Amino acid sequence: MAEPDRENEEATMASKSLYVGNLSYSVTDSALRELFAEYEPTEVRLIPDKGFGFVDVPEDKAADAIAAMNGREVDGRAISVSEARPKRERSDGGGGRRGGGGFGGGGRRW
């Protein structure tokens, strides 16, 4: 019987996405990957100029990564690491407050 293909097995292994917050804006993708190296990150996504990112690790290493890395000091900041929540669907297409124009409503009555 042939030896199972290890690379294929790892590629199909389930992974969990971890949220990593309170990062210094100077952190790079490669630095974030290196920081989580012992947890074998499969993907790293840094959100530019926002101070957070996502690191995908094998499912069996996620809890250990969270326990070890949450609160760890990186570049003088205690990072926040937790399981990423699914992206919410926005029904309003983004944005924030709608309408307005600076005039009307709540003005003085003579």
Per-residue pLDDT reduced to its tens digit, 9-38: 444 579 999 999 999 999 999 999 999 999
Domain membership flag for residue 3: no
Give residue 35's domain range: 13-76
Single pTM value for the model: 0.69
Domain membership flag for residue 17: yes
Q: Which residues face 52 on adjacent strands?
A: 47
Give the chain's domain count: 1
Domain membership flag for residue 100: no
Q: Report how far apart, in Å, the C-alpha atoms of 50 and of each of 2, 27, 64, 95 are.
A: 48, 11, 25, 17
Task: Report the CATH number at residue 25.
Answer: 3.30.70.330
* Amino acid at position 7, single letter: E
Q: Are 43 and 56 spatial neighbours (Cβ–Cβ below 8 Å)?
A: yes
The pLDDT tens digits of the residues spanning 57-110 come to 999 999 999 999 999 999 999 999 999 998 787 766 555 555 555 555 555 666
Domain membership flag for residue 84: no
Domain membership flag for residue 46: yes
Domain membership flag for residue 45: yes
Domain membership flag for residue 88: no
Domain membership flag for residue 7: no
